[in-house]
Structure 1
Amino acid sequence: MSAMSDLEKAVPSVWACLHYRDPRAALAFLTGAFGFTDRAVHAEPGPDGTIHHAELTWASERGEVGGVMFGASDDTARFGAGLVHVVVEDPDALCERARAAGAAIVRGPEDTDYGSRMVVATDPEGNTWSFGTWHED
């Protein structure tokens, strides 16, 4: 696990929880493509051990913290059905990093009619991720 700033150490009050067939691949993708920080990973020993629970955090330059949880799921889980929105300062830069890591860009980057700039991507298991600037009215 990488060293975390004080902001990244803060515990989010709300967590998005997603199901993944391959939690280890999801961990690599979400940290590499989207820039999440791994806060806690509980797995069986060894480099290929099953991840039972993972917590990733997102710390924005504005001071907000958010998180996503996932782990090994059984066959009754609905994979690829989630949608998560994350506030970012630079959706264009995130789009380029995500595209380079293999994310499918479904929309944008584009300016919205409500004053934000956003990009929408899907991860390898089909969950939809929206990243955009925050606009206060």
Structure 2
Amino acid sequence: MGNIYPVLRYPDAHAAIDFLRSAFDFTVHEVHAGPDGVVRHAQLGYGDDLVMLGTGPAPASRPADDDYRVYVVVDDVDRHHERARAAGAEIVRPPFDTDHGSRDYVARDLAGLVWSFGTYRP
């Protein structure tokens, strides 16, 4: 595991967890809800890495394509893209090859946050 963990907030964390699982192939590690059922903290995994999320206010405005981006390394960009598209992710930029040898695509989740997926490993 790494030392840097993105922390994301969603107006409906339960829906976000379902979406991230179905669209982007994340796995649920932990979900902690308060007595009211609201998700206070959750950990979702992709490979050996984690993102943390919880319930919080929606972004004040829809982020630009380059704002709030999380980059996730995937082995098969085209397969991952098709899964995300089929699950209803908004595809901001379909799969493309970069000048540094990566194959990437960009999608927006149900809260409007932008995610990049690709083969580049920093």
TM-score by length of 2: 0.86
Aligned to 2:44: 56
Partner of residue 38 from structure 1, selected from 28, 37, 53: 28
4+ residue stretches of structure 1 with deviation over 4 A? none
Q: Which has the higher strand share?
A: 2
TM-superposition CA deviations, 1:42-90 (whole Å, max 9, x none): 0146xx821111100110xxxxx221111122x4x63665210001100
Partner of residue 86 from structure 1, selected from 72, 76, 97: 72
CA–CA distance in 2 between the matches of 1:134 and 1:113?
A: 11
Give unpaired runs (5+ residues) of structure 2.
none
Q: Which amino acid aligns with 1:68?
A: V
Q: 2:31, 2:39 within 8 Å by CA — same for their partners in 1?
A: yes
Q: Which has the larger radius of gyration?
A: 1
Partner of residue 111 from structure 1, selected from 75, 90, 97: 97
CA RMSD of aligned residues (A): 2.0
Q: 1:88, 1:132 within 8 Å by CA — same for their partners in 2?
A: yes
Q: Secondary structure at the match of 1:26?
A: helix
TM-score by length of 1: 0.77
Q: How many residues align?
A: 117
Give unpaired runs (5+ residues) of structure 1.
1-10, 60-64
